[in-house]
């Protein structure tokens, strides 16, 4: 106890800063490293994404306990999920809300019976961490556009499913890199309480393929900014 008291007296400012930063990151906002390419081209390997922990809930610090529910995720949101099924933190896009009927046919989505809009675009593969040939499309869900990636040389065996009705209190999530994403097609519907926050922009980015050199053009970039 005497040692603890001495440490607190000599370093209380630093200790208080660490405690406040821990509370801030657990309950208000955080930045998460993205280790995989499941959200290409929206999120690149090596991006550190800013996550708004208060977008949907006010949580008790250092826990996943929701004290106040503020909002529910909307179609098109990019969210972080503390997934019990995957045993890790995931970053995916919300596709199906509770009670939605969702189907996919050859990577084309149908939500509540309506076909989602697609338009093919051209992107530089070298600028998007791609290790195989890709095809890129603008996908419009609920009026909001984002970019998805398909891999014609390595198509997913799960490019078609449904129609499925999303159960109450759960969400259907997909990665933007549709042929290379472990998402609801593998883990099922994600419970509302596993959604930790909303990701909207890149904090900073380090390129693991080039000695972790900073990608300055991605610093502060909105995640659904036009690609190219």
Tens digits of residue pLDDT in 83-135:
999 999 999 999 999 999 999 999 999 999 999 999 999 987 666 776 678 99
Given 53, 83, 92, 151, the catalytic residue: 92
Q: Is 117 a catalytic residue?
A: no
Q: Is 38 a catalytic residue?
A: yes
Given 9, 12, 36, 38, the catalytic residue: 38
Place of tokens 């998805």: 148
Single pTM value for the model: 0.89
List CB contacts of 103: < 8 A, sequence separation 6 or more: 109, 110, 161, 162, 163, 164
The answer, yes or no, to whether residue 21 has pLDDT greater than 50, is no
* Confidence at 192, pLDDT banded by 50, 70, 90: very high
Domains in the chain, start-ordered, CATH in brackets? Answer: 2-218 (2.10.109.10)
The pLDDT, as a whole number, for residue 66 is 87
Stretch 72-79: mean pLDDT: 97
Q: How far apart are CA 145 and CA 138, in angstroms?
A: 6
């Amino acid at each position: 106890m005497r040692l603890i008291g001495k440490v607190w007296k000599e370093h209380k400012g630093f200790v208080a800063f660490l405690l406040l930063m821990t509370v801030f990151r657990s309950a208000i906002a955080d930045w998460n490293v993205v280790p995989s390419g499941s959200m290409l081209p929206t999120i690149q390997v090596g991006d550190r994404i800013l996550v708004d922990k208060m977008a949907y809930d006010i949580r008790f610090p250092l826990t996943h306990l929701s004290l106040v529910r503020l909002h529910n995720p909307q179609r098109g949101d990019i969210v972080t999920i503390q997934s019990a099924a995957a045993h890790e933190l995931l970053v995916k896009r919300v596709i199906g809300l509770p009670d939605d009927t969702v189907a996919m046919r050859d990577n084309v989505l149908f939500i509540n019976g309506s076909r989602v809009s697609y338009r093919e675009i051209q992107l530089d593969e070298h600028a998007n961490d791609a290790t195989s040939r890709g095809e890129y499309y603008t996908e419009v869900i609920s009026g909001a556009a984002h970019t998805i990636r398909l891999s014609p040389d390595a198509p997913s065996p799960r490019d078609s499913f449904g129609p499925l009705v999303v159960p109450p209190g759960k969400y259907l999530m997909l990665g933007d890199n549709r042929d290379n994403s472990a998402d609801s097609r593998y883990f099922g519907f994600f419970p509302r309480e596993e959604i930790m926050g909303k990701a909207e922009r890149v904090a900073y980015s380090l390129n693991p393929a080039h000695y972790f050199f900073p990608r300055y053009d991605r610093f502060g970039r909105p995640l659904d900014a036009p690609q190219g």
